[in-house]
Structure 1
């Protein structure tokens, strides 16, 4: 028998969820073992080489604010930065970075290797050690047993993974990597429900063979931002992305492959992501459209490999190749490898508690695609939360759960646990009812105090938050007191199409106008610019957002407080909802499966009506 010391936390899988889980537990003080099938693919960007985006950028900022590592790694390895949705309100602003795929993985590995308390083991895990309905460790393909007080499973697409390219199919968790078997079968024997999902990836091509003059260039922001709230490196040299389009000839060639399509011929059983369909799915579902957008994204700062975003496909490789060459700029394209679809096992997340611990086996946590999600950011935040809670569990500390009103992370986990998902779950701003207060710019103010209290966010982070709070308050106070004469400002107001003033007016009242921005005032009033120049840009931005959206923000906080009252109604113990005939049949079924911990959680379960909640509150004597 191979002997090893007992670990506090064992993390299985070293993708985005596994990396954050291992780093969080180790940085909190747990002795961690990270088991991966291949040490050379730690934090591999299996799909597009980018971090952030709509709603995903908010999640990444939250991970960073709590003391996670993904934002720092992204900043150190990005090759382009863009703030999306600037034309909309601040609740929609979403940072996105194009990453250097190879450097991203390398930086994550070095980060983990330099983290105290983490050991590594390269091998497939084929089973769990279970004792008295509690996980006690893992067993590998070689029969090696590692004992641990808690286990976090972050298996990604590797559980019984099956890759499809046309009529060909073969086992694999990723291109050129083996699938993992054994864990699904054991969990099903233990009573877990499992399902199948699918995702896909597009072809990669040789950038030297493309004609960029026929495409639309998409540069990064003139002044690039960053994801981390720490002083990470400023991006100096950016690489552009490009936009081109499919056309009717491309669509016709793709249709010739439909008879060999694993999706249309029923060989793929799992459901794919509705919001990221394959190119063949797009031309089939949207037959009235004669073109679809294609984003050409560099895989790194030096490599010639390009990622063809929007051309995900599982059609035969020759069909993919012929269709690609009919896209503008791709006439002479050379393909490095074709796109493919991959099916894999997942476990409906209604089988979890809000801590991401399973209900059937104590001290066992699931994070990432095993829970039915899609996306690096969704995986990373689950890994972070599972790592924190696994550490807290084995050290007899309180669970750490974020509310829907506190973070996008809270929305994501609450949705998964209470509503489940039958298709790959992706985060959108529309999923967050409190999005006006869950912005990317204030994630540090919302979450760093929590991360600091946990022991994960550093003293430096907390000091930065306190400075930002002081500066934001000082800027607001200054603008509330600062009076501006009509003669000073009316010319600018006329220029902006805003009503002129007839008497002295506070700066704060001018800034509440939708078409008046702080930069307008500072450009026009040099003294104002001088007096505000002492403050950090993020403090100024925070102050202006607070001023402009004050009434909306207050309204959201009141609404969140009302909803929070239901969270205070704790449901003690495991109730037998079958014995409550006044509940609807669907409510009894869903409540029995989820076993909510509070009335608030019960109210968010899909299929549980307000009438059911009233019945439940009467039953509980509320």
Structure 2
């Protein structure tokens, strides 16, 4: 008798952030789902830093939550510190970030998944994907067990032929203490996929009891911490743990340089490309030789553990070099190691081989999500996993795919960048990658996405009602500003205090409050505003939402107009089997790129590197437009 007699709707391979979100999404949409992972004890493990969110990444976590994913809820329930980054800038740049309890984070994920209906688990290595007539039919495990499936989502992280480097030593592994995964890459290459190698790294973990925090700068959380999830079921932190900051020095840099001849990054042992925006400490002192110091963030791994993450000191240098150099950092003079830092190389598949649903173009029913697509970061992986799980479920039900546009979500920007432009280095999301970041704020992700998720059966009614209440309340508050006048006698003292021109006659609050000199605190000083908030029992989330709509209405309307123009191009579909070779006047490079990527719309085609505006004009003419 076989362990698995029935065919699954969705099989998810890999239990990291992408795999966990994919499995949860598919199961919550009613699909019979199986999550296969090499270690059930390490589901949703934080392989690198113990934190969620950050610049642009926090927006992604909010979007995952708005769609009905788990990452925001798990983050809130396992946080030890919360910060809103970039608060000195406009709200389009505000980015939530939380420090997490690493063990509690993984435990919370595991328990939430175990409480999800329709979801089964199995612990073993998947060594082969089963393909028949260019269609996925299942997977095969290391024990030779075949598991039949209608769709498969691969979320293998850094495990595909993973190779760990510490100095001149190297050994197979997907991360410290866990073996690599073999077989899948070879199967996919045989099926016609193009593969490559990427590299990432992680810093040493140390014993916090051996550190002298008096020599470091304390980095506390926000005085009034917020949270990620829009649901009322999670609560903001009532107490927090501080992080700390210290610095390297010329002495530290000299000690590190002593090991460069044994560094796998410099001696040619590592040939793959690492993340540009999270370089190793040896890369930083080599590329920025003029800088005498670099920041080191000292981050606790949880509420009760003494383990500490040394953020900013990612390295693959020999362990004795790491130790000697780190002991020269202020506060680390007596440091004790829990484990050394290391670099890891792994297989990935250029994401231009995917559709916007994250389904592969070559094999029907096969989806890729996470670092297998060349991305870096928990948040980027989780977002892809969620979208792959959703689209796998929709495919099984023979329903229209779920695709987010660039003006609808950072998730849409992320996936479009990967599919359209590809990536030759680990991709990381930034706010600068989004053309419409004033629309894609962290505060309004539920307005943008929750109703869409409800329509496809993922977001629950509780979430939809919460969003509708928030939207009605904030819209009513904005309307109050449009209808209510303020007199010079009340306004002028506040205007003078904030360096704004005085009023000579009454005017509507909406116009007065849109002045750039008035911040949110200044608006709260107006008596009618304060009374309205109290009478209607408005929480900070609703108040902030209304204030943003007033303060940035001009920018928001301009971006909406630009987004509408983009949408018109998105509506111009390119025939699936369009023959680009027939267009004689188009550049050779444009033809090659268009034939390889096979864009679905004119808008997508216009974003492909090497495709010029003139090529788009020629394409439109040949399409009869």
TM-score after normalising by structure 2: 0.98
**Unmatched tracts of structure 1, length 5 or more:** none
1:257 corresponds to 2:259: yes
Quote the Cα distance in structure 1 between the aligned partners of 2:76 and 2:236: 8
C-alpha deviation, 1:179, in angstroms: 0.3
- Trace 1:364-375 onto structure 2 (pairs within 5 A): 364-375=366-377
Instruction: Give the match for residue 530 of structure 1.
Output: 531
Q: C-alpha separation between the residues in 2 aligned to 1:487 and 1:436? A: 34
SS in 1 for 2:59: helix
1:599 to 599, 602, 609: 602
Q: Using the TM superposition, give the Cα deviation of residue 520 of structure 1 relative to its aligned residue in structure 2, in angstroms.
A: 1.9
SS in 2 for 1:263: coil
Which residue in 2 is equivalent to 1:155?
A: 156
Aligned partners of 1:482 and 1:573: how far apart in 2?
54
Q: Aligned match of 1:282 in 284, 297, 304?
A: 284
Q: Distance in 2 between matches of 1:495 and 1:235?
A: 34
Deviations 1:426-473 (A, max 9, x none): 000000000010000000000001011111111111111111111111
Q: CA deviation at 1:3?
A: 4.4
* Matching residue of 1:21: 22
Aligned to 1:346: 348
Alignment of 1:144-223 (within 5 A): 144-223=145-224
Partner of 2:101: 100
1:291-330 to structure 2, matched below 5 A, reads 291-330=293-332
Using the alignment, how far apart are the partners of 1:87 and 1:177 within structure 2?
A: 42
1:181, 1:49 → 2: CA distance?
A: 28
Q: Which stretches in structure 2 are left out of the alignment for 5+ residues? A: none
Inter-partner Cα distance in structure 2 for 1:236 and 1:76: 12
Q: Secondary structure at the match of 1:361?
A: coil
Aligned residues: 621
| Cα-to-partner distance string for 1:243-276 (whole Å, 9 max, x where unaligned) | 1000000000000000000000011011000010
Residue 87 of structure 1: aligned partner: 88
Question: What residue in structure 1 maps to residue 414 of structure 2?
Answer: 412
- Equivalent residue runs for 1:567-578 within 5 Å: 567-578=570-581
Please tell me whether residue 480 in structure 1 is matched to residue 486 in structure 2: no
CA distance in 2, matches of 1:72, 1:235: 13
- List aligned pairs for 1:461-610, cutoff 5 A: 461-523=463-525, 525-533=526-534, 534=536, 535-610=538-613
Mapped to 1, the partners of 2:484 and 2:419 lie a distance apart of: 49
Partner of 2:428: 426
Secondary structure of 1:442 counterpart:
helix
| Aligned counterparts of 2:132 and 2:270: Cα–Cα separation in 1 | 36
Q: Deviations over 1:91-132 (max 9, x none)?
A: 000000000000000000000101011111100000011111
Equivalent-residue separation in structure 2 for 1:293 and 1:43 (angstroms) = 28
For 1:364-416, what per-residue CA distance to the aligned partner results, in whole angstroms no more than 9, with x for missing partners? 00000000000000000000000000000011011000000000000000000
**Residue 2 of structure 1 corresponds to which residue in structure 2?**
2
* Alignment partner, residue 69 of structure 1: 70
After the TM superposition, which of the residue ranges 467-476 and 4-13 deviates more from structure 2? Answer: 467-476
Q: Which stretch has the larger CA shift, 330-339 or 464-473?
A: 464-473
Deviation, 1:517, is 2.7
DSSP 3-state at the match of 1:566: helix
Offset at 1:573?
A: 2.3
Greater mean alpha carbon deviation, residues 230-239 or residues 21-30: 230-239
TM-score (ref. length: structure 1): 0.99
**SS of alignment partner, residue 102 of structure 1:** helix
Structure 1 residues 154-178: Cα deviation after superposition (integer angstroms, max 9, x where no partner): 0000000000000000000000100
1:277-331 per-position Cα deviation (integer Å, ceiling 9, x unaligned):
0000000000010100000000001100000000000000000000000000001
- SS of the residue corresponding to residue 441 of structure 1 reads helix
The CA distance in 1 between the partners of 2:207 and 2:419, in whole Å, is: 42
* Aligned equivalent of 1:140: 141
Name the CA distance, whole Å, in 2 between partners of 1:614 and 1:497: 50
Please report how far the alpha carbon of residue 527 of structure 1 lies from its aligned counterpart in structure 2 after TM superposition: 4.4
In the alignment, the residues of structure 2 paired with residue 447 and residue 564 of structure 1 have an alpha-carbon distance, to the nearest angstrom, of 17
RMSD (Å), alpha carbons: 1.0
